[in-house]
Amino acid sequence: MLAYLVRRLLYALPILIGVNVITFALFFVVNTPDDMARMQLGVKRVTPEAIDKWKAQRGYDKPLFINDAASGSAVFTDTIFFSKSARMFAGDFGRAEDGRDIAREITSRMGPSLAIALPTFVLGLLVTVSFALMLTFFRASYLDFWGVVLCVAMMSISGLFYIIGGQFLISKLWKLVPISGYGSGLDAWKFVILPVLIGVISGIGSSTRWYRTIFLEEISRDYVRTARAKGLSELVVLFRHVLRNAMIPILTGVVVVIPLLFMGSLLTESFFGIPGLGSYTIDAINAQDFAVVRAMVFIGSVLYIVGLILTDLSYTFVDPRIRFN
Amino acid sequence: MAFLPVILWSDVLIWLLFATAAIFGWLSVRNPLWRTAWQRVGRSRAGMASATVLVVFVGVGLLDSIHYRPRLEEAAASAASGTSRQPPAYAVEVLSVLDAILTPLRTRNEKTYSEPLATRAYAKESIESRGADGQLQQSRDYPRLKHGGAHLGTDETQRDADIGQRLLRALALATLLWWALAAATAAGLARAESCTHEEAWRRIWHNESDFAWNAVLATIGVLLLVVLPLAALSFNYHVFGTDKVGQDVFYQVLKSVRTALVIGLVTTLVTLPLAIFLGVLAGYFRGWVDDLIQYLYTTLSSIPGVLLIAAAVLMMQVLIDNHPQWFATAAERADLRLLALCFILGVTSWTGLCRLLRGETLKLRELEYIQAAQAFGVADLRIIGRHILPNLMHIVIIALVMDFSSLVLAEAVLSYVGIGVDPTMISFGTMINNARMELAREPMVWWSLAAAFVFMFTLVLAANLLADAVRDAFDPRIAGSA
């Protein structure tokens, strides 16, 4: 198992390097640091001195890959690629436009993001899987038909409308919970309820349909017929046999996103004013803070790769036939 | 010439796509396997009803994809009198055929918000008027709209009666048109299947025809009942009200359709070649080619989509802002930005389809007929072209229709986040973005949001339903069992 993990991590390394190179190319080769400086300082009436100063402040005044002026290992380390991109592997993301350390900002913002994303994820999974099981139980009936119609209708509504509608109905009309904001510690609960609720509801449509397809595919197999033939009730068949065997396709889609929960959700957080990583990213996009966006891209990929490894590990728990090799 | 044709890049691509679809449709009619698959789609009632709705949307989008710059009036006048030898001047504004049709909607702007079908503005203002004694009087009242119900004059009490009358007339016309259409369809069917009209009529409504005529006719009926009254009222009232700067919301909604279509369709122009080419290459040649392509798409797909899009769009903005000289008009800039967004969306979303195609190719290349072809010494390219690609097409078509609705939804979210289309370009995303703060107003401004919701929901729902019908017809696993 350990050897397997080490091998997987070694596989992940070239992918991370690839991500790093792609982001580097995107941020420094497509546009030169001069372009970024002009953008930040305003395109018109910008002096070369101002650009140089902006670049020097952020360390963008070095050569891209090879610094001929330096000596020794500094030929490679005293460059933009090394100082801005390669150092991300060590968890050093540099500073944001407002001078704050990005790494520290990220650790402090993970909490609120997780407070929203984790309950949404768990509740959403429970609700959609049970809904899908119910539709499978009543398959080929009117309930199933209208359930699927409801799902298709729900997945045709933009996520924006769920948030706007939910905020309007629950916070403005019924005044049950505050419309947006966040509190510290346990006081946060009343700010968390609404985003979680909306997150769960907006995910019902597509996920339920997806799980229903998986269950229906499973239910037409021979082992299900055998189970029924030996006299098991439909409910037992559904929960003990179909659900368990459907775990592999479900896990494939589910486990990958668990690490990404740390990143929070861009939309929800910005609508509800939650000081998490999602709103951090949005603010960075709007302020055109390149360093923060670069850092988030990198972290996102790391978390995704962790998710892939976790997925493979989780297979062995639900299917003993799968071994690490 | 009274106008200067402007060919925007997205117009070219949209019409190119239209032509491709037409050619593809012709080809698939000749191929018996494809014909049966499409006939299965044609029998699906939900599929055909949604296809009818989509045809209307596509029609609006195509009309909005022929652009021109009108000639300026003064220049035209002076040129006609022959006093000046100046070259004719054209407006900077780029219009489309749809704009020309909707000229009353486009030009009759109010000062600010007004409710749907209102004759007076939404907020009170101080109005100066002359009283009976000739004195200037100031009063606070809802000012009369400049255009909304202007034909009524001062007689605003007649509004409801007027609207009712127009509605009745439109509904009557809609019913008449529908009956004519239904009768024509029955006549056509009777001739095609050489039976009596009554028999054809019965087959249509008892679902016994080979094509879901009943669904199409019913949908057309509903559409006529909705569209004609809207059209009848929209030229004298603001049917969906006006927004903050007084622009007609109905006009905005119609303009959003093209943006959504471009995003949903042009993106596939980027996705498909990448996914098909790389997927087939990886699956067919295996070895290091496979490793390289797998590495490429694993790397790309490991970057969370929104973040990669955000980073790419941010960089594109820098590029565009630093090169204002590339664009002659604002419309061209917005257009190129839209295409860049499509490109970015395409580059970030081909990986899923590529993985699917690679897996399928791996499976196909082990089959006997391909091994036989290889044993006969048929060239690899020929095997791919003749034996592998046609057997992958169902996956491609399913992916294509499935992606459309998610792309339309993605546009709204991205525009909200600020990494979508140009803020000056009318789209569902920008409409929602502008309208979302208005719910907090007192009294509430709900109509922009409601209109965007209804149109977007209809479009995406129709696309989803059609996608389901197409998937059911083309997926061999499902189609075989049914």
CA-based nearest distance B115→chain A, Å = 19
Say what the alpha-carbon torsion angle B221, B226, B227, B232 is, to the nearest 10 degrees. 120
CA-based nearest distance A250→chain B, Å = 17
β-pairing, B67-70 vs B3-6, is antiparallel
- Asked if the model's pLDDT at residue B482 lies above 50, the reply is no
Packing angle of the helix pair A142-155, A189-219 (nearest 10 deg): 130
Beta carbons of B436 and A179 less than 8 angstroms apart: no
Is B317 in Cβ contact with A288 (below 8 Å)? yes
Q: How confident is the model at residue A249 (pLDDT cuts 50, 70, 90)?
A: confident
- Asked if the model's pLDDT at residue B440 lies above 50, the reply is yes
User: What is the DSSP secondary structure assignment for residue A91, as one 8-state letter?
Assistant: T
CA-based nearest distance B299→chain A, Å = 5
Interface test with B, best of A23, A85, A214, A266 (most B CBs within 10 A): A266
Is A285 in Cβ contact with B417 (below 8 Å)? yes
Is A297 in Cβ contact with B308 (below 8 Å)? yes
Give helix then strand counts, H and E, for chain A: 17, 0
% of chain A at pLDDT higher than 70: 97
Q: Which of A74-78, A237-241, B168-172 has the lowest mean pLDDT?
A: A74-78
Comparing CB atoms, the residue among B413, B417, B464 nearest residue A156 is: B464
% of chain A at pLDDT higher than 90: 25
The mean predicted confidence, pLDDT, of chain B is: 85
Task: Return the closest-CA partner of residue B334 out of B421, B253, B258.
Answer: B421
Say what the alpha-carbon torsion angle B33, B37, B43, B45 is, to the nearest 10 degrees. -170
Task: Return the closest-CA partner of residue A61 out of A95, A26, A36, A97.
Answer: A36
CA-based nearest distance B156→chain A, Å = 33
Interface test with A, best of B315, B325, B466 (most A CBs within 10 A): B315
Comparing CB atoms, the residue among B413, B418, B440 nearest residue A285 is: B418
Q: How confident is the model at residue B78 (pLDDT cuts 50, 70, 90)?
A: low
Work out the end-to-end distance of chain A between its first and last CA atoms, rounded to an integer number of angstroms: 9
- Asked if the model's pLDDT at residue A23 lies above 80, the reply is yes
- Asked if the model's pLDDT at residue B472 lies above 60, the reply is yes
- What domains are defined for chain A? 2-90 (no CATH), 103-318 (1.10.3720.10)
**What integer pLDDT is reported at residue A44 of this predicted model?**
64
CA–CA distance, A24 with A80 (Å, rounded to integer) = 9
Q: What is the pLDDT of residues B141-164, one digit of tens each?
A: 787 787 777 777 777 778 888 888
CA-based nearest distance B432→chain A, Å = 8
CA-based nearest distance B458→chain A, Å = 8
Q: What is the pLDDT of residues B79-111, one digit of tens each?
A: 555 555 566 777 777 888 888 888 888 888 888
Chain A environment of B296 (Cβ under 8 Å) = 18
| Top-confidence residue, A214 or B119 | A214
**Helical segments of B117-158, H only:** none
Chain B environment of A19 (Cβ under 8 Å) = 299, 302-303
Task: Return the closest-CA partner of residue B253 out of B450, B55, B56.
Answer: B450
Q: What is the pLDDT of residues B310-326, one digit of tens each?
A: 888 888 888 887 777 77
Is A160 in Cβ contact with B436 (below 8 Å)? yes
Q: Which tokens in the block code for residue A199?
A: 């997150």
Q: How confident is the model at residue A152 (pLDDT cuts 50, 70, 90)?
A: very high
Phi-psi region of A185 (alpha: psi -120 to 50; beta: other; left: phi over 0): left
Beta carbons of B307 and B417 less than 8 angstroms apart: no
Q: What is the pLDDT of residues B251-261, one digit of tens each?
A: 999 999 999 99
Give the SS3 label for residue B114.
strand
**What integer pLDDT is reported at residue B307 of this predicted model?**
84
Count CB atoms within 10 A of the CB of residue B476.
10
| B136 backbone dihedrals φ, ψ, rounded to 5° | -75, 130
| Top-confidence residue, B188 or A79 | B188
Interface of B with A in 169-228 (CB under 8 A): none
CA-based nearest distance B480→chain A, Å = 14
Is B322 in Cβ contact with A43 (below 8 Å)? yes
Task: Return the closest-CA partner of residue B332 out of B92, B107, B16, B98.
Answer: B92
Chain A environment of B307 (Cβ under 8 Å) = 281, 293, 296-297, 300
- Asked if the model's pLDDT at residue A140 lies above 90, the reply is no
- Tokens 């596939």, located at residue: B268
Chain A environment of B302 (Cβ under 8 Å) = 15, 19, 301, 304-305, 308
| Top-confidence residue, A149 or B91 | A149
Count CB atoms within 10 A of the CB of residue A223.
12
CA–CA distance, B286 with B280 (Å, rounded to integer) = 10
**What integer pLDDT is reported at residue B328 of this predicted model?**
74
Q: Which tokens in the block code for residue A41?
A: 């300082």
**What integer pLDDT is reported at residue B74 of this predicted model?**
61
- Asked if the model's pLDDT at residue A269 lies above 70, the reply is yes
Chain B environment of A306 (Cβ under 8 Å) = none
| B426 backbone dihedrals φ, ψ, rounded to 5° | -75, 120
Count CB atoms within 10 A of the CB of residue B93.
11
Count CB atoms within 10 A of the CB of residue B407.
25
Average pLDDT over residues A208-233: 91
Chain B environment of A24 (Cβ under 8 Å) = none
Q: How confident is the model at residue B302 (pLDDT cuts 50, 70, 90)?
A: confident
Q: What is the pLDDT of residues B369-423, one digit of tens each?
A: 999 999 999 999 999 988 899 889 888 988 888 889 999 999 988 888 878 888 8
CA-based nearest distance A103→chain B, Å = 17
- Asked if the model's pLDDT at residue B199 lies above 80, the reply is yes
Say what the alpha-carbon torsion angle B55, B43, A131, A223 is, to the nearest 10 degrees. -140
% of chain B at pLDDT higher than 90: 32
Comparing CB atoms, the residue among B419, B453, B461 nearest residue A152 is: B461
Give the SS3 label for residue A98.
coil
Q: Which tokens in the block code for residue A140?
A: 């080929």
Give helix then strand counts, H and E, for chain B: 20, 5
Is B298 in Cβ contact with A30 (below 8 Å)? no
Beta carbons of A66 and A77 less than 8 angstroms apart: no
CA–CA distance, B304 with B326 (Å, rounded to integer) = 31
User: What is the DSSP secondary structure assignment for residue B144, as one 8-state letter?
Assistant: B
CA–CA distance, A20 with A86 (Å, rounded to integer) = 8
Is A156 in Cβ contact with B311 (below 8 Å)? no
CA-based nearest distance B188→chain A, Å = 33
Beta carbons of B449 and B436 less than 8 angstroms apart: yes
Beta carbons of A57 and A41 less than 8 angstroms apart: no
Q: What is the pLDDT of residues B109-128, one digit of tens each?
A: 888 888 888 888 777 777 77
Is B412 in Cβ contact with A266 (below 8 Å)? no
Is A281 in Cβ contact with B299 (below 8 Å)? no
**What integer pLDDT is reported at residue B1 of this predicted model?**
61
CA–CA distance, A204 with A129 (Å, rounded to integer) = 9
Is A168 in Cβ contact with B303 (below 8 Å)? no
Helix (H) or strand (E) holding B364: helix B351-364
Q: What is the pLDDT of residues B325-350, one digit of tens each?
A: 777 777 888 888 899 899 999 988 89
CA-based nearest distance A213→chain B, Å = 11
Interface test with B, best of A24, A148, A150, A160 (most B CBs within 10 A): A160
Q: What is the pLDDT of residues B265-284, one digit of tens each?
A: 999 888 999 999 999 999 99
Task: Return the closest-CA partner of residue A311 out of A233, A220, A250.
Answer: A250
- Tokens 């372009």, located at residue: A35
- Asked if the model's pLDDT at residue A8 lies above 80, the reply is yes
**Does B329 contact chain A (CB < 8 Å)?**
no
Beta carbons of A278 and A114 less than 8 angstroms apart: no
**Does B292 contact chain A (CB < 8 Å)?**
no
**What integer pLDDT is reported at residue A291 of this predicted model?**
84
Give the SS3 label for residue B65.
coil
**What integer pLDDT is reported at residue A162 of this predicted model?**
92
Q: Which of A25-34, A131-140, B184-193 has the lowest mean pLDDT?
A: A25-34
% of chain B at pLDDT higher than 70: 94
Count CB atoms within 10 A of the CB of residue B161.
11
Task: Return the closest-CA partner of residue B320 out of B343, B350, B299, B303.
Answer: B343
**Helical segments of A138-265, H only:** 142-155, 159-166, 189-219, 222-229, 234-236, 243-245, 247-254, 257-260
Count CB atoms within 10 A of the CB of residue B46.
18
CA–CA distance, B237 with B229 (Å, rounded to integer) = 12
Q: What is the pLDDT of residues A56-70, one digit of tens each?
A: 777 777 777 777 777
**What integer pLDDT is reported at residue B127 of this predicted model?**
75
**Does B310 contact chain A (CB < 8 Å)?**
yes
Q: Taking the model in full, what pTM does it have?
A: 0.90
CA–CA distance, A216 with B437 (Å, rounded to integer) = 43
Q: How confident is the model at residue B8 (pLDDT cuts 50, 70, 90)?
A: confident
Interface of B with A in 443-472 (CB under 8 A): 449, 453, 456-457, 460-461, 464-465, 468
β-pairing, B67-70 vs B136-141, is unpaired
Is B312 in Cβ contact with A26 (below 8 Å)? yes
User: What is the DSSP secondary structure assignment for residue A95, as one 8-state letter?
Assistant: B
Residues linked to residue A95 through DSSP beta bridges, in sequence order: A101
User: What is the DSSP secondary structure assignment for residue B248, as one 8-state letter?
Assistant: B
Chain B environment of A266 (Cβ under 8 Å) = 306, 417
CA-based nearest distance B471→chain A, Å = 13
CA-based nearest distance A27→chain B, Å = 7
**Helical segments of chain A, H only:** 2-24, 33-41, 48-58, 74-77, 80, 102-137, 142-155, 159-166, 189-219, 222-229, 234-236, 243-245, 247-254, 257-260, 266-272, 277-287, 290-318
**Does B298 contact chain A (CB < 8 Å)?**
yes
Is A22 in Cβ contact with B303 (below 8 Å)? yes
Nearest CA in chain B to A157: B457
Q: Which tokens in the block code for residue B170?
A: 């439109």
The single-letter code of the amino acid at A258 is I
Is A39 in Cβ contact with B321 (below 8 Å)? yes
Average pLDDT over residues A34-53: 75
Phi-psi region of A59 (alpha: psi -120 to 50; beta: other; left: phi over 0): left
Q: How confident is the model at residue A45 (pLDDT cuts 50, 70, 90)?
A: low
User: What is the DSSP secondary structure assignment for residue A174, as one 8-state letter?
Assistant: S
Nearest CA in chain B to A260: B304
Chain B environment of A285 (Cβ under 8 Å) = 310, 314, 417-419
Is B432 in Cβ contact with A30 (below 8 Å)? no
Chain B environment of A293 (Cβ under 8 Å) = 307, 310-311, 314
| Top-confidence residue, A43 or A42 | A42
| Top-confidence residue, B137 or B66 | B66
Sign of CA dihedral B373, B375, B378, B383: positive
User: A31-45, A138-152, A246-260: which has the highest mean pLDDT?
Assistant: A138-152
Comparing CB atoms, the residue among B295, B303, B453 nearest residue A297 is: B303
Q: How confident is the model at residue A46 (pLDDT cuts 50, 70, 90)?
A: confident
Task: Return the closest-CA partner of residue A198 out of A149, A165, A151.
Answer: A165
**B265-279 residues labelled b (16+ CB within 10 A) or e (exposed):** bbbbbbbbebbbebb
The mean predicted confidence, pLDDT, of chain A is: 85
Phi-psi region of A177 (alpha: psi -120 to 50; beta: other; left: phi over 0): beta
